[in-house]
Amino acid sequence: MLSTSSQQQHHLFSSYRALGLVTNHVPCILRIHQRHSSHLLLTAIGKVFHAYRLNTLQVLLVSDSHPDDIQVLASNSRLVFVAVGSTIYIYRRVFHLYQTLTDHKGNIQHLLPFGDDHIISIDESNTLRVWDIQSASIYLSLEFNTKNFHITSLLHPATYVNKLLIASRQGTMQLWNIKSNKLLHEFFSNDTNTNSITILTQSTVVDVIAIGYNNGQIRLHNLRYDETLVTFTQDFNGPITSIAFRLDNIPHMATGSSTGHICIWNLDTCHLISQVRHAHKQCSIAALHYIPGEPLLISNGNDNALREWIFDMPDGQSCRLYRERCGHSKSPRCVRFHDNDIILSAGNDGRLRTFHTILDNLSRCFGRTTRYKWEMELNENEDDNDNDNNEDCEQPLPIVDLRCETIKENDWDGIIAVHEKRRRISAWNYIRAKRSQHRFEHERFATKVYHNVEVIATCCDISPCGNFCVIGYSTGHIDMFNMQSGLYRGSFDDGPIKYSAKNPHKRLKSSPYATAHSYPLCGVSFDSLNTRLISCDTNGNMKLWRLKTKTLLSSTSIINHENINSNIQITKMNIHRDSGLVSLAFNDYTIKIYDYDTMIFKCIRTFSTNTHTNEITSLTFMPDARWLLTTSLDKTMRIWDIPSGQLIDTMEFDQAIITLAVSPNGDMLATGHTDALGVYLWSNRTMYDNSIINITNDIDNQQLLVGDFQSPEQISKNLITLSSLPESKWKNLLVLDTIRQRNKPKEPINIPKQAPFFLPTVSNLRGFVFINPNDENDIKNKDKKQTHIHQTQKFLYESSLTNLLDHQKINSSLSNDVIHLLKDFGMAKIEYELRCLSPEQGGSLERMFIFIDILKQAFDNKQNYDLISSYLALFIQLHGTSLIWKNEELIEKIRNIQLKQKETWFNIQRQLNTSIALVKDVKPFDSSCEHSFVSDISQRQSVIKLADEIFSRIQSYPTIIVNAAGITRDSLLLKMRDEDFDDVIRVNLKGIFLINQIFCQRLLKEKPIELKASIINISSIVAKYGNVGQCNYTASKAGVESMTKSMAKELGRVGIRVNSILPGFIQTPMTDKIPDKIKEKFLLSIPMGRMGTVDEIAHVCLFLASNKMSSYVNGASIDVTGGF
């Protein structure tokens, strides 16, 4: 499936296998093995062939891939022949390549095994060759004139030694002697019937063959007397494609047609006895084979189906379907992983199937969906010329979208499907493997309002709890249904909330005709907590809904429609629930990723370069949300790395991918392609080959929104950090003795009396011990004066922990090194290391003092609180009774560190209680009152849009405005660029001007009388004193300071107070990056000797915003600098 250029490269995904491919248009062959009871059925699948067990139709093996598609299959009792292009591949034992024949100039069209030692082939140039298999040489070559005799079929008549019967398109046949190279006889040379012969088959009677014509006629002809015995004619239009004779002593003949029907003829009475209509739907019968001695008929066709029919009906003439193996008859359009091993697939044939990635016998078909009778009657575009072909079957409804949830599949339906150009959604049950009785459709669409409106379901989703499903329509509606009962559970409406006049707290139901969007939906999805719904339409409007009340939480338009000629629309949407990311594909082939957890749909990545060159067909996230996979009609799949914003791999295919899915554990990728009937699996090479990841694209070609981020070990000195280790690494340190006692074996280990003969041993009182030759040499080379006791003492005196304590001084780095060392140890190792600190175990009091100081230093750092507490408790448990309580200095140190531990714990408890109280206070408030918006304050239209969004959300304008937005572009005056100066002025000065002007105009228009509002402009102390490298920044902040004075005089008379705050050096993440030496210089100029905090600025803002505390403060500039 990969293109030739991509096969020569290393990619992140490698081809694994194809699922759902059974057969194609190449006639299957029945290989009868005389020595074995089990026979084989061989079918061609593109470049490979499959071998099936005839008794179960289970795959026995799959051949190696050939250079091109297989055109013809043939076999004899020993060998299998495969024609690929102009080459013949000969296999022994089905899978072992035995010989290769290459001499044809054109593609081979016919193969016929001639005995056990020869094979006859005919290519498109009408040249016949007879090959000697063992020597791979040409025994005979004949060339025929295509105008006079165009070969269409070959047959080796039974009992006719060295004879070959050749049929032509001109309706004549020739009988040749291969050994003597002579034409023996020509049949039908004077016959007026000039119809082309399509098939030749040997009958069960010697000298009698069956001849099939392209006009649907079958002729039984006696070769010995050149006489036609009987003639049959099928009523179906089209040629005879296959003929088979029953081999269980019943005179029946089966014929296949190009329309997919099978006819059963009685040769005794010479009439038709039964038909199998639509044995293979909308395709011709490729081959028919009766199984010797069994009432079974095998058929295959181009509908990717292999079927077995049994003649056991009461009339003794008709048959029924006994066993089948099939896949999709049309290309799949939607693929989803049900779990790590099961794949759900649906396509243009209207069938829902499951494929097991490992075991083919676990694959199932759920049936198919068809148009209802009333839909068939209303369809005026159908061609009535094929009524005879469609009288027994309803037209399938292609499935274009599929969603599944496994949590409730044992109780009720867990699968829903969207059908092409239909508003009705079908439900499926995975356990029962069939379609459900529920069909989701709102009754509004049956009213006269939508009688002439084409309503199409465009998207759907199932909630994570499995109880509800939502459906998005082309009309902008979003409806929710219950999966268990199939009942309607409400619609989403973006209009204003209406309340009852009698009961203001009772919310009225919205109109059933109200829409959630004004444009067709392109995607809907639940979030991971099952509390919100995300929807998006083709016009770029993304909305976030509260699921319980079906009210709108936020709305964002992500497409700029200022350009009237802009035709940009969203074509695809995919959501990663766990990370809160939304990926969108646009019709200009741009791909964007948004974060909906921010409530404002913030764009975090934009891929506009190195992207696709045609319509994007599918996109999906990897399970860890690190990669985004996109496919397009340009026959490529591109893999984007989201953290770095780069294109890391591009894979080219022979056919475009229209759907793809990733397994839940990320080890497998499933794809569906145009004009391909199978589902293709690809393995993730990063699971077993880390060297495959190679980012080759230039980083400057991508839009990087964030840089490399490294999380600090301690975010803030005011916080207390716990360790990230699992509890099993420290929680059971105090009960190790209990664990050892519990795990102690009840009986001694049984030692074998005798060791294996090939291992060197020495006998002793307990039995034997093993001898290691390397250990003997080491002992001989050691000094004889060194004893085993001395070695043990030396080991007890030194350990990794004691070596670290003896060679380092007490500081913060030593504390971190010791903690990191203990983190890598197991619990038993930690106990042993702490036990070695005692003088009785080879340690010393100095080491114990140092270790206690290290624990105290760790408490001061406010890191790894749980670990340090466990280590301290274990230390006291090991040395308390024997040593600590006998040494006054140790007692004093233990008391100090316990006081530090209590102080830290009280700090944790205080912060925890504060957080709990805050949550309790905030929880009663309606969260709909809290909103956040994104705007570029340097652009007037963006600020106007911001004001409109705020008013639409809270139905009023804010009366407290804090202008805190600002940027820096620091550089010396002689090196500063014009754009750096303009950017700072535009945001820091013009942005505050636009915010104040537009919102004040709206406020005065809304509340011209008794207005009480407060505007707080955040300036900077550098506006007064200047700062090196900040000419642009100081100028902008000085302008804010002067603008505040003028605004206070203009707006004070209408009830709007305007003040400014001049912060000094405030402790923020930006100032944390300043070197310590520079910080020390700053602190020397501050009388209070410290930097300010953000809370201190917020308290001043609170003071100026209050109409009670600062009702008479206007035009003031407050320095918050600590006396700088």
What is the CB neighbour count within 10 angstroms for residue 760? 11
Q: What one-letter code names the amino acid at 743?
A: N
d(CA 1092, CA 1104): 18
CA 90 vs. chain centroid, Å, equals 41
Which residue is associated with the tokens 């290309």? 331
Cβ–Cβ < 8 Å for 629, 620: yes
> Which residues have CB under 8 Å from 39's CB, separation 6+?
30, 31, 32, 33, 54, 55, 291
> Is 355 in contact with 417 (CB distance < 8 Å)?
no
Active site residue 160: no
Give residues with Cβ within 8 angstroms of 401, minimum separation 6. 334, 417, 418, 459, 460
Q: What is the Cα–Cα distance from 614 to 631, expressed in whole angstroms?
A: 10
What letter would DSSP give residue 978? H
Angle of helix 845-861 relative to helix 812-824, nearest 10 degrees, comes to 100
SS3 content of the chain, % helix, strand, coil (to 5): 25, 35, 45
> Per DSSP, which regions of 423-569 are E strands?
425-429, 434-440, 457-462, 468-473, 478-482, 488-491, 521-526, 532-537, 541-546, 551-557
- The beta strands (E) that lie in 712-802 are given as 761-764, 767-770
- Which residue among the candidates 89, 871, 957, 1033 is catalytic per the annotation? 1033
What's the CA gap between 971 and 92, in Å, rounded? 79
Reduced 3-state DSSP string for 96-131 = EEEEEEECCCCCEEEEEEECCCEEEEEECCCEEEEE
Looking up tokens 């996979």 gives 629
Q: Which residue has the tokens 């890598």?
A: 824
Q: Is 750 helix (H, G, I), strand (E, B) or coil?
A: coil
Q: Can you tell me the distance from the alpha carbon of 354 to that of 337, in angstroms, rounded to the nearest whole number? A: 9
- Token pair listed for 242: 């296959």
Q: And the tokens for 531?
A: 């509390």
**Among 362, 333, 326, 357, which residue's Cα sits nearest to residue 50?**
326
- Over the range 997-1015, which residues count as b (16 or more CB within 10 Å of their CB) and which as e? ebbbebbbeebeeeeebbb
Q: Are residues 860 and 812 in contact, defined by beta-carbon separation less than 8 angstroms?
A: no
Structure tokens at 818: 């010791």
Q: How many Cβ atoms sit within 10 Å of the Cβ of residue 386?
A: 11
Contacts of 473 (CB under 8 A, 6+ apart): 423, 455, 456, 457, 458, 479, 520, 521
Quote the distance between the C-alpha of residue 745 and its chain's center. Answer: 48
Residue 282 main-chain phi, psi, to 5 deg: 55, 35
Point out which residues pair with 272 in neighbouring strands. Answer: 265
Q: Do the beta carbons of residue 11 and residue 685 sit within 8 Å? A: yes
Q: How far apart are CA 304 and CA 831, in angstroms?
A: 67
Cα–Cα distance measured from residue 1031 to residue 164, given in angstroms and rounded to the nearest whole number: 99
Half-sphere exposure of residue 715: CA atoms within 13 angstroms, side-chain side: 5
Catalytic residue ranges? 1033
